[in-house]
Amino acid sequence: MNPARRHLPVVLVLLIALGSTWLAWRHEQEVSERWLRARFDDSLRDTTARIVQRMSAYEQMLRGVQGFYAGSGEVTRQGFTAYVNTLQLGADFAGIQGVGQITLTPAAELPPLLKQLHRQGLADYSITPPGERALYTPIIQVEPFSGRNRMTLGFDPYTVPELRAVMEAARDSGMPRITGKLPQLLDPANGRAPSVILCAPLFRQGSSIRTLAERRASLIGWIYAPVHLDEMMASLYGDTDSDILIHVHDGVEPSADNLLFSSHPAETKPPRLYAAEYLEIGGRNWVIEASTLPGFVTRVGHSDATTIAISGLCLSLLLAVLARILATARQLALRLAQQMTEDLRSSEERWKFALEGAGDGVWDRDLVGDAAFYSRRCLEIFGYEPDEIAPHRQEWVERIHPDDRAAALAATAACIKGHQESFSSEYRLRCKDGRWKWVLARGRVMRRSADGKALRLLGTISDIDARKASEEQIRHMAQHDSLTGLPNRALFADRLQQALSLVHRDHAHLALFFVDLDEFKAINDHFGHATGDLLLQEAARRMHECIRASDTVGRIGGDEFVVLLPSLSSVEDARHVAEKIRQALATPFAIGGHALRISASIGIACYPEHGDSESRLWSIADAAMYAAKARGGNRVELAGGSPAHAVLTPPTDLPIITP
């Protein structure tokens, strides 16, 4: 026999075995990489959500100061100090260095202002930088008045172009706005990290601010809060993965010049994984960059690829040796074949043990006879015993959730038809106790006929129920108020935008309410935050009982709530629902052995009667609510008209009824 032909079977066996080893090694590499990427992406999303939550808290704090000024008229220095002290700038507002007031002062009004401040005990108060100009915007008060905050008193931020642009943007929008990356303007030698500044406009009490011209004409100053990103990031709630490098940049193009925060400034090694999330914070775009450090890959990236490669190489060589022996001696080949059979059986048992030890179940499907095999672990995931599920494919298919069945079968069919090498699909499967459990099914065709028809399908089942529950919990926390469980500002704004799209298309009507609890602060100050929280929860429940399933009640901060009625026949329907809410909130609350009485000021804006955009309806409803409050509270005020309902409010010194 030709020597080349004699060695041909050995070469073919070796090539096939090495090819199978490469496929198995490649598959394990892909599985490990997907797992590593999933863990990395989860960590980035969690960090991003906590940054958004913290910055929203900062904005709500500034809105609270705006509301304090709008509701109080003239605010004294002592009143401002007392209000900031009640904010308790602790863990929830870590990173904020203080809260200050900026007054808009024409040149002619500057001398009286300086005399007034000197009479109030600020004998050394002066404007920085000095010089004559038509308009001054000095900082006249900052709390807490200690440390570096003392250096800012008298500083005119309008002289800094970056600060002036943000202040004007806040004035024109009527909303809080944030600066880009700023150096330490007054104390550049202190070595601290750069900061950003949040600012919000203050308007003359009772003035209309619906249009840009009205807002510019009614401006009297700003409130501001400097934020150090290092301190804010260090105080975020939850566990932060120390093996992931986080960079926060101002703008959409990351660079060293716009870097606001770095969790590992000295790290320069190229990362294994990288991702970025884009956010809009206070009118500016931020980029949250994440990249892995070596410790993350070592800790999370477990892979059996090396074991598979070594084992496959050894097995390939053994098969080649076996083929060589078969070509020379039948008897010896038979003995070696028997030994190899035992080795293969042991290898199969080891692989099965490895898969079962990892918590995954194994399934094997005969596509010719439609028989199926499920490993013990595969059945244990769903609470079944080995004899409780018949070895047929249909038994499994019938247990897939109806909403997921079509997609799961389509993924399997694509793999069987050869459109893709393997498949991976997530779906819910009914357990023995009737519960639905999320699983990840992966598989591939292991054998095909000469004409390419699939004969055998092999795969695994992984329990991902806990991961799905965690993802749902994170999604819910990002969209709902933690105290009342109501939709937060972001989710409510999304529903309002969707409702506006529908009514615009259908030429229908909707209504937006702003609800403010009139006597809540007195109760909260008298009985404490715990009682105040219980009162807010009960108020939220009562409002929710007054609306339909298609309506939405949301909490946007403090004692302020919003209500969306996405489908109305007339404005009178909105009046009726608002009155129902007002009466429900006027009924005393039994909390902690006390009967607590509050009332509500409700402002109504309707589409299309009062506005055709989200911002327009939001502004009008807010103005109507403040109008109801200005008329004594405990009433419903329809935008642009007379009060929808008005009652005599109880005396302000009797907001609380005790047994």
Q: Which of 285, 200, 295 is nearest to 241 (CA)?
A: 295
Neighbours of 583 (CB within 10 A): 14
Lowest-pLDDT choice from 431-440, 609-618, 622-631:
431-440
Q: Is the peptide bond before 588 cis (omega within 30 degrees of 0)?
A: no
Helix (H, G, I), strand (E, B), or coil: what is residue 620? helix
Q: Quick: pLDDT tens for 540-549.
A: 999 999 999 9
Q: Which of 530, 642, 620, 625 is nearest to 581 (CA)?
A: 625
In contact, 169 and 283? CB cutoff 8 Å: yes
With 0-12 CB in 10 A as exposed, 13-18 as middle and 19+ as buried, what is 233?
buried
Which structure tokens are listed for 81? 């100090």
Fold agreement (59-233, 360-463) = yes
- DSSP secondary structure, 455-483, as one string: EEEEEEEEE-HHHHHHHHHHHHHHHB-TT
Q: Quick: pLDDT tens for 39-52.
A: 889 888 988 988 88
Q: DSSP letter at 423?
A: E
In contact, 39 and 301? CB cutoff 8 Å: no
How far is Cα 551 from Cα 544, in angstroms, rounded to an integer?
Answer: 9
Which structure tokens are listed for 226? 């400097």
How far is Cα 171 from Cα 202, in angstroms, rounded to an integer?
Answer: 8
With 0-12 CB in 10 A as exposed, 13-18 as middle and 19+ as buried, what is 619?
buried
Q: DSSP letter at 434?
A: S
How far is Cα 97 from Cα 193, in angstroms, rounded to an integer?
Answer: 13
Residue 376 pLDDT > 90, yes or no? no
Q: Quick: pLDDT tens for 553-591.
A: 999 988 999 999 998 888 899 999 999 999 999 999 999
Residue 358 pLDDT grade (very low, low, confident, very high; cuts 50, 70, 90): low
End-to-end CA distance of the chain: 110
Q: Quick: pLDDT tens for 445-486.
A: 888 888 888 888 888 888 888 888 877 777 777 778 888 989
Lowest-pLDDT choice from 244-253, 320-329, 640-649:
640-649
In contact, 218 and 270? CB cutoff 8 Å: no
Residue 118 neighbours by CB under 8 Å, 6+ apart: 125
Q: Quick: pLDDT tens for 489-529.
A: 989 999 999 999 999 998 899 999 999 999 899 999 999 99
Residue 3 pLDDT > 50, yes or no? yes
Cross-strand pairs, 223: 101, 200
In contact, 212 and 172? CB cutoff 8 Å: yes
How far is Cα 437 from Cα 262, in angstroms, rounded to an integer?
Answer: 40
Residue 335 pLDDT grade (very low, low, confident, very high; cuts 50, 70, 90): low
Architecture of domain 59-233: 2-Layer Sandwich (3.30)
Percent of the chain beyond pLDDT 70?
89
Q: Across residues 380-391, what is the average pLDDT?
A: 81
Neighbours of 54 (CB within 10 A): 19
Dihedral-angle region of residue 646 (phi above 0 means left; psi in -120 to 50 means alpha; beta otherwise): beta
How far is Cα 281 from Cα 178, in angstroms, rounded to an integer?
Answer: 7
- DSSP secondary structure, 138-155, as one string: -EEEEES-STTHHHHTTB
Instruction: Give the pLDDT of residue 133.
Output: 92
Helix (H, G, I), strand (E, B), or coil: what is residue 174? coil
Residue 351 pLDDT > 70, yes or no? no
Instruction: Give the pLDDT of residue 192.
Output: 59
Instruction: Give the pLDDT of residue 381.
Output: 84
Instruction: Give the pLDDT of residue 220.
Output: 93
With 0-12 CB in 10 A as exposed, 13-18 as middle and 19+ as buried, what is 264?
middle
Residue 611 pLDDT > 50, yes or no? yes
The number of C-alpha atoms within 13 Å of 263 and in the hemisphere containing its C-beta is 21
How far is Cα 607 from Cα 568, in angstroms, rounded to an integer?
Answer: 10
Residue 646 pLDDT grade (very low, low, confident, very high; cuts 50, 70, 90): very low
Q: Which of 207, 28, 220 is nearest to 106 (CA)?
A: 220
Residue 283 pLDDT > 90, yes or no? no
In contact, 184 and 195? CB cutoff 8 Å: yes
Dihedral-angle region of residue 593 (phi above 0 means left; psi in -120 to 50 means alpha; beta otherwise): left
Lowest-pLDDT choice from 139-143, 261-265, 565-569:
261-265
Beta strands 371-374 and 509-517 are unpaired
Distances from the Cα of 212 to the Cαs of 128, 168, 208, 218, in angstroms? 30, 11, 10, 10
Instruction: Give the pLDDT of residue 628.
Output: 94
Residue 651 pLDDT grade (very low, low, confident, very high; cuts 50, 70, 90): very low
Handedness of CA 309, 311, 317, 320 (dihedral sign): negative
- CA angle, 17 as apex, 15 and 21 as ends, to 5°? 115
How far is Cα 282 from Cα 178, in angstroms, rounded to an integer?
Answer: 5
Query: What length does the chain have?
Result: 659
| Phi and psi at residue 228, to the nearest 5° | -95, 120
Neighbours of 157 (CB within 10 A): 22
Candidate CATH numbers 3.30.70.270, 3.40.228.10, 2.40.400.10, 3.40.50.2000; the one for domain 480-657:
3.30.70.270
Percent of the chain beyond pLDDT 90?
38
How far is Cα 149 from Cα 494, in angstroms, rounded to an integer?
Answer: 38
Q: Quick: pLDDT tens for 78-88.
A: 888 888 888 77
* pLDDT greater at residue 380 or residue 162: 162
How far is Cα 294 from Cα 272, in angstroms, rounded to an integer?
Answer: 8
* pLDDT greater at residue 644 or residue 490: 490
Neighbours of 79 (CB within 10 A): 13
Residue 190 pLDDT > 60, yes or no? no
- DSSP secondary structure, 286-303, as one string: EEEEEEE-HHHHHHH---
Residue 346 neighbours by CB under 8 Å, 6+ apart: none
Residue 123 pLDDT > 50, yes or no? yes
Please report, to the nearest 10 degrees, the dihedral formed by the alpha carbons of residues 121, 201, 519, 566 taken in order: 180
CATH superfamily membership of 360-463 = PAS domain (3.30.450.20)
Residue 633 pLDDT grade (very low, low, confident, very high; cuts 50, 70, 90): very high
Q: What is the 3-state secondary structure (H, E, C) of 309-333?
A: HHHHHHHHHHHHHHHHHHHHCHHHH
Q: Which of 168, 160, 163 is nearest to 129 (CA)?
A: 160
Q: Across residues 290-316, what is the average pLDDT?
A: 84
Side chain identity at residue 353, one-letter code? F
Cross-strand pairs, 316: none
Residue 647 pLDDT > 60, yes or no? no
Lowest-pLDDT choice from 1-5, 83-87, 300-304, 630-634:
1-5
Residue 362 pLDDT grade (very low, low, confident, very high; cuts 50, 70, 90): confident
How far is Cα 537 from Cα 528, in angstroms, rounded to an integer?
Answer: 15
How far is Cα 137 from Cα 163, in angstroms, rounded to an integer?
Answer: 11
Lowest-pLDDT choice from 85-99, 136-150, 275-289, 577-591:
85-99
Q: Quick: pLDDT tens for 11-61.
A: 888 889 888 888 988 888 888 888 888 888 988 898 898 888 888 888 988
Q: What residue ranges do the domains of the chain occupy? A: 37-53+242-299, 59-233, 304-358, 360-463, 480-657
* pLDDT greater at residue 472 or residue 420: 420
Instruction: Give the pLDDT of residue 185.
Output: 54
